[in-house]
Chain A
């Protein structure tokens, strides 16, 4: 099982749609979870951390299920500017907090 596995995508959605991304991780000892966003040929940027109780930031909602080792990201009311690759990121539990393992990413394309 890959350390961090994501839906391969791409997801093509119209503006205003709701879209959900799924992610699973292999190491049950992982403690910290994040969604990063990467625009084409750009660097990754933190979108949001994922907390055990779930958390929301505007149109974005992240959920964590530790029992299933599953993380999700929900984007409501998609905008053209949401087009990017969304990276599921998990810390490496056998190392420092901030040493991160990245999923391959799921590409989102929002069309007019």
Chain B
């Protein structure tokens, strides 16, 4: 079964360092997303991406964050200068053309970011 894959599964970094989280969405999917979940908190929308550009972003997605689709498969989230409060699980998700009717997002297993 096709799946969204994310790397790394866990990254520990020092405050102020840059981090890149990588995702390979399901191949025929068109919309891509990053969500995050701080431990014990709800899943929060960060950004959606369609046709090689950001289609929507939340107030969380400030200038420290950026997304890119450098090639036909990878979808990356970059955090330029990490803060302690960036520690969270970051989920990549994608949706199929058919899924636009069902609302079924396919999530990757997540990348846990720990900022020290």
Contacts and interface: CB of A to CB of B under 8 A. Distances in A.
A105 to B, nearest CB: 7
Contacts, number: 60
A15 B45 CA distance: 34
A99 B91 contact: no
B56 A95 contact: yes
B103 A42 contact: no
B-side interface mostly = strand
B56 A32 contact: no
B99 A104 contact: no
Contacts of B105: 44, 46, 98, 100
A102 interface: yes
A103 B41 CA distance: 9
A46 B104 contact: yes
B39 to A, nearest CB: 9
A96 B91 contact: no
Contacts of A96: 31, 48, 55-56
A98 B100 contact: yes
Q: How large is the interface on A (under 10, 10 to 19, 20 to 34, 35 or more residues)?
A: 20 to 34
Given A42-B109, A91-B103, A103 B42 contact: yes
B103 A97 contact: yes
A59 interface: no
B7 to A, nearest CB: 14
Interface in B75-116: 89, 91, 95, 99-100, 102-105, 107-110
A104 B104 CA distance: 18
A49 interface: yes
B42 A105 contact: yes
23 contacts: A41-B89, A42-B109, A42-B110, A43-B108, A46-B104, A49-B104, A92-B45, A95-B56, A96-B31, A96-B48, A98-B33, A98-B105, A99-B45, A99-B48, A99-B56, A100-B45, A100-B103, A100-B105, A101-B45, A102-B42, A102-B43, A104-B42, A105-B42
The 6 A-B residue pairs whose C-beta atoms are closest, nearest first, are A43-B107, A102-B43, A104-B42, A46-B104, A95-B56, A102-B42
